[in-house]
């Protein structure tokens, strides 16, 4: 099931992807299929609500319903689900499943089954948990290396636009593109996005070549067991 099909359903949409998969950006893509502006796209970080609960001794996750009730239209993206304890995951699911959704509100939840909730797949409990929801898998960038040239151009275009940062556009040489398609990208698509951003911030010629990428020290010089060079210098610690 792809995102274009999922966008036309009213069910809760779960986006499953590894750290750095930019699930929030994919959620916005779904949002824009029915809305023409971003101001009715709301991102709620469930893991931060749970942290507030521990610090202030209050049930923040269970109060999620009260906050959602103040939103009348648009898309609500819930991130950080896979960072929750089992207790809080159950609370979040129960809140969503029992919530009388107002017409015009769409829920999207970012999950990462490669983390602690991977046991749900092993125990074959997914059919029960996501019985009436839509689940879309977002493949890691290392499985889509052939898309890197197109992604590079897309990120350059984004950061060059006013709604990005209005940076001066640059082009990656063919040799640089070929080199980047040989990397494992442990930070996923977010790491590639960060690399493009960093190169555009650097003063340089119109063409980004291999030497500039190496000088910028964006890439680790060490090969992994698969012969791919992982990128390790950009921060992709924000899971969604």
Tens digits of residue pLDDT in 10-30: 778 889 999 899 999 999 999
Model confidence over 164-205: pLDDT tens digits? 678 999 999 999 999 999 988 988 999 999 999 999 998 878
Q: What is the pLDDT of residue 125?
A: 46
Per-residue confidence (pLDDT) for residue 205, from 0 to 100: 87
Length of the chain measured in residues: 240
CB 29 within 8 A of CB 154: no
pLDDT at residue 235, as a whole number: 41
Residue 39 above 70 pLDDT?
A: no
What percent of the chain stands above pLDDT 70?
Answer: 71
For residue range 196-232, what is the model confidence (pLDDT) as tens digits?
Answer: 999 999 887 899 999 998 887 666 654 455 555 554 3
Q: At what angle do helices 148-160 and 188-201 cross, to 10 degrees?
A: 50
At 203 the pLDDT is 81
Better pLDDT: 72 or 238? 72
Confidence of residue 236 (pLDDT cuts 50, 70, 90): very low
Residue 239 has pLDDT above 80, yes or no: no
**For residue 93, what pLDDT is reported?**
76
Tens of pLDDT, residues 98-132: 766 656 778 898 988 765 444 444 444 444 555 55
Q: Can you give the pLDDT at residue 95?
A: 76
Q: Is the pLDDT of residue 34 over 80?
A: yes
Say which residue, 1 or 114, is predicted with more confidence: 114
Q: Is it the case that residue 90 has pLDDT exceeding 50?
A: yes
User: Is the pLDDT confidence value at 62 over 90?
Assistant: no
Q: What is the pLDDT of residues 129-169, one digit of tens each?
A: 555 578 888 999 999 999 999 999 999 999 998 666 789 99
Q: Smallest Cα–Cα separation from 184: which of 140, 139, 147?
A: 140
């Amino acid at each position: 099931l792809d995102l274009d099909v999922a966008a036309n359903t009213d069910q809760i949409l779960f986006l499953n992807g590894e750290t750095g998969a930019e699930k929030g950006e994919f959620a916005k893509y779904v949002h824009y299929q029915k809305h023409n502006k971003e101001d009715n796209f709301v991102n709620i970080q469930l893991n931060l609500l749970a942290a507030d609960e521990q610090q202030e001794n209050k049930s923040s996750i269970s109060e999620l319903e009260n906050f959602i009730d103040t939103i009348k239209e648009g898309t609500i993206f819930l991130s950080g689900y896979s960072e929750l304890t089992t207790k809080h995951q159950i609370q979040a699911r129960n809140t969503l499943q029992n919530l009388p959704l107002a017409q015009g509100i769409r829920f999207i939840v970012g999950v990462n089954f490669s983390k602690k909730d991977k046991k749900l797949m092993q125990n074959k409990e997914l059919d029960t948990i996501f019985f009436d929801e839509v689940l879309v898998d977002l493949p890691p960038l290392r499985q889509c290396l052939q898309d890197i040239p197109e992604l590079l151009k897309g990120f350059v275009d984004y950061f060059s636009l006013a709604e990005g940062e209005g940076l001066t556009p640059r082009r990656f040489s063919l040799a640089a593109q070929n080199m980047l398609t040989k990397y494992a990208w442990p930070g996923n698509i977010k790491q590639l996005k960060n690399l493009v951003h960093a190169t555009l911030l650097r003063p340089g010629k119109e063409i980004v070549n291999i030497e500039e990428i190496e000088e910028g020290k964006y890439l680790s010089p060490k090969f992994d067991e698969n012969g791919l060079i992982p990128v390790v210098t950009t921060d992709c610690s924000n899971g969604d």
